[in-house]
Amino acid sequence: MMSDVLEELVQEMSTNGLFVPDTSITIQNVVGEGEFGVVYKALLHGWKENMHSLVAVKTLKGMFSCCDVKHLAEESQIMARFDHPNVMKLIGVSMNKYKHLFIVMPFMAKGSLLYHLKKNRHIFTIESEEITEMPEVTSSRLLSMCLQIAKGMEYLAHNKFVHRDLAARNCMIDLNNVIKVADFGLTEDTYARNYFRQTTEQEDGEPPVKLPVKWMALESLNDGIFSEKTDVWSFGVTCWEVFSLGKNPYPGVDPFSLIRYLERGERLDKPLNAACSQEIYNVMRECWEWKPWKRPSFSQLVTVISTSLEGMGWISGPQLSSSYHYKYSQLT
């Protein structure tokens, strides 16, 4: 029953100090919308020492079922366990007088990574490798985005979580350009298992979940198997999105033909943006190895990408070059 799900969640969140009275939330405007849910910008006030801050509030829209409420409740329970700078953290949950459930999260002022990449294509695009100054700055800037995602995913993998829906659209950017892996609607706790399978019907009789085909590994497409190594495959596609500045993967390839395309050994081509070096593309290719055990772990990816950035002389903070500040002060 829907009421049982909500009552159990409210009790759990209240015990953990994560239940937010609906009177402490003032909804402002819609900032995101999907097939089943909607995200609002809101003001959180009069809660926990009268804190006043902008937040994002996620809830279901339209006619929704008990299963939908259960999934949203599970998403909040998953998020409540996370504590990492590159993973979206739960502020709390709330419920209004109509028994509508709300997930309260930090407000990400710059929106999704996908939106950010598309909006700033004119800054990140390098037409020729012959231009010597900005390609390295641009390449390191884009690669640093990949590093933040890899660190967030390393944390999830260490805590035995499989995301299943890693993509640029599901990574959010705050006002300080910190990227946070988000949207845990498909996330599974695999602490007791090394992988799980998504069949045509879920174990509890619910309809199958829609999965993001163009970001999925071969074993996920063929057998419904998901693990850290399938998330690594998705990470490779996400890196391709970053260096392609938000282009759609596998242009011209029908989703229904993707399995045969990949089984022939085909993979995403090297992004045309000159900011993507062959070395960076090789890292992506390693993420798309046919055999999962041949793919790197997220810990290995963090090490490799960090080393690459150090080789580029990447630094953060006030020591950045004036050319960097000039170029990237234009980012919005």
What domains lie within the chain, and their CATH numbers? 2-106 (3.30.200.20), 113-328 (1.10.510.10)
C-alpha–C-alpha distance, residues 224 and 71, integer Å: 19
254 annotated as ligand-binding:
no
Residue 8 reports pLDDT greater than 70: yes
C-alpha–C-alpha distance, residues 116 and 290, integer Å: 31
- For 121, which DSSP code? H
Tens digits of per-residue pLDDT, 158-175? 999 999 999 999 999 999
169 annotated as ligand-binding:
yes
| C-beta of residue 20 within 8 angstroms of C-beta of residue 91 | yes
C-alpha–C-alpha distance, residues 162 and 232, integer Å: 10
Pick from 74, 290, 106: which is nearest to 189 by CA?
74
Pick from 157, 45, 179, 50: which is nearest to 104 by CA?
45
The pTM of this model reads 0.86
Tens digits of per-residue pLDDT, 40-70? 999 999 888 757 899 999 999 877 888 888 8
Residue 195 reports pLDDT greater than 50: no
Q: Which distant-in-sequence residues (6+ apart) come within 8 Å of 184 by Cβ?
A: 75, 78, 79, 88, 163
Which of these ranges, 95-99, 108-112, 219-223, has the smallest mean pLDDT? 95-99
Q: Which of 4, 68, 83, 165 is catalytic?
A: 165
- Catalytic (active site) residue 165: yes
164 annotated as ligand-binding:
no
58 annotated as ligand-binding:
yes
Residue 316 reports pLDDT greater than 90: no
pLDDT band at 82 (very low <50, low <70, confident <90, very high): very high
C-alpha distance from residue 187 to each of 48, 65, 195 (Å): 29, 20, 12
Which of these ranges, 40-54, 117-131, 141-155, 189-203, has the smallest mean pLDDT? 189-203
pLDDT at 116: 94
Residue 179 reports pLDDT greater than 70: yes
| DSSP-derived pairing of the beta strands 196-197 and 225-226 | antiparallel
| C-beta of residue 182 within 8 angstroms of C-beta of residue 114 | no
**Which neighbouring-strand residues pair with 43?**
26, 54
C-alpha–C-alpha distance, residues 107 and 238, integer Å: 22
C-alpha–C-alpha distance, residues 166 and 170, integer Å: 6
